Amino acid sequence: MRAESNVDPKTVEGFGSEWQSFDHSDDTLSAMTREQIFDAYFGIFPWDMLPAHPVGADLGCGSGRWAALVAPKVGKLYAVDASAMALAVAKNNLTNHSNVEFHHCDVSQLPFPAGSLDFAFSLGVLHHLPDTQRALSDIASRLKPGAPFLVYLYYSMDNRPVWFRSIWVMTDWLRLGISRLPHALKIGSTTALAGLVYWPLARIARLLEKLGLRFEHIPLAFYRDKPFYVLRTDAYDRFSTRLEQRFSKLEIQAMLLRAGFTDIRFSDHEPYWCAVGIRAGG
């Protein structure tokens, strides 16, 4: 019996349009930038725990930007996405990786047997689902005991001061408006935000860093050394998504525990929050 879907159709449609507009093909970013962003997410991933020729899954693969860097390190990688448009982009970007297999489904309808995966990762996806807890549990059921799972979920500013969280509240109202615009207007408005808000704040943070001053308190400081393409992509991602949930570090830990993960570890730097959990039973 096929499980009930755990996606918001409008959100899936929006992501399909996003990855067709920002496909992250090889000519959009330098290899150094790709590796730098990859390390920001995967820095806590326990590669040494994996067996020889491991089989794993990229759950919510989008354009395939993470799969392109993981595939050379593993035996087989399943690239999964609920958007057919996104999957088409990923297939185009991953043509040189013969060990990648593509699946059009959401994480609650995974075609893999229970306890069959050596690892999995899902970055920036599960907070856009109606039931994030269910998604984590569904993923855990497909992992072997002792298998690691890397997840990135939007944070609720739980490590930020009140003024920082207040800014986010105001921007979220803006997201609610932009996310309902036609695609072309989403592109225009979020590109304007990238140029008029993201870029100046990011470069101020970069200047402070070069001067040896504290820059962490500047909003969007994470982008201080990122090219404008990344700023455009992430501005679209942030403001064009219909469904967005945010979680504190403690909430994420509790959800992972309920899903059946142990030995949960968090990254101590941006982007917040990246976490690794080990499937219990190993």
Task: Indicate if 264 and 187 belong to the same structural domain.
Answer: no
| Virtual torsion, Cα 184, 201, 43, 267, nearest 10 deg | -110
Q: Is residue 217 part of a domain?
A: yes
What pLDDT was estimated at residue 24? 82
Residue 14, pLDDT score: 87
Structure tokens at 219: 């909003």
Same domain for 142 and 15: yes
Domain for residue 1, yes or no? no
Both 253 and 173 in a single domain?
Answer: no
Q: Is residue 3 domain-resident?
A: no
Q: Are 101 and 117 in contact (CB under 8 A)?
A: no
257 lies in the same domain as 187: no
Domain-embedded: residue 102: yes
Both 250 and 217 in one domain: the answer is no
Q: CA torsion sign, 64 to 67 to 71 to 75?
A: negative
Count: domains in the chain: 2
Do 131 and 270 lie in a common domain?
A: yes
Output the six-digit token pair for 253: 């830990």
Same-domain pairing of 273 and 216: no
pLDDT of residue 4: 83
185 and 130 co-located in one domain: no
Residue 54 shares a structural domain with residue 136: yes
In this prediction, residue 2 carries a pLDDT of 64
Reading the chain (282 residues) residue by residue, the pLDDT tens digits are 567 889 999 899 888 888 888 888 767 778 888 899 999 999 999 999 999 999 999 999 999 999 999 999 999 999 999 999 999 999 999 999 999 999 999 999 999 999 999 999 999 999 999 999 999 999 999 999 999 999 999 999 999 999 999 998 999 999 999 999 999 999 999 999 999 999 999 999 999 999 999 998 899 999 999 999 999 999 999 999 999 999 999 999 999 999 999 999 999 999 999 999 999 986
Cβ-based neighbour number of residue 118 at 10 Å: 21
Kindly state whether residue 80 falls inside one of the protein's structural domains: yes
Please indicate, yes or no, if residue 90 is contained in any of the structural domains: yes
* Residue 151: per-residue pLDDT: 98
Helices (H), the chain: 9-21, 31-42, 67-70, 84-93, 132-142, 162-178, 183-193, 199-210, 228-239, 249-259
Q: Are residues 139 and 63 in the same domain?
A: yes
Domain boundaries, position 23:
9-156+246-279
Rounded to whole angstroms, how far apart are CA atoms 261 and 219?
Answer: 32
Residue 70 has what pLDDT? 98
Distances (CA, A) of 154 to 127, 158, 274: 7, 11, 9
**C-alpha dist (Å) from residue 194 to 165, 181, 198:** 20, 17, 5
pTM of the predicted protein model = 0.93
Shared-domain flag, residues 101 and 220: no
Q: What's the pLDDT at 184?
A: 93
2 lies in a domain? no
CATH assignment at residue 251: 3.40.50.150
Structural domain contains residue 4: no
Shared domain check, 54 and 28: yes
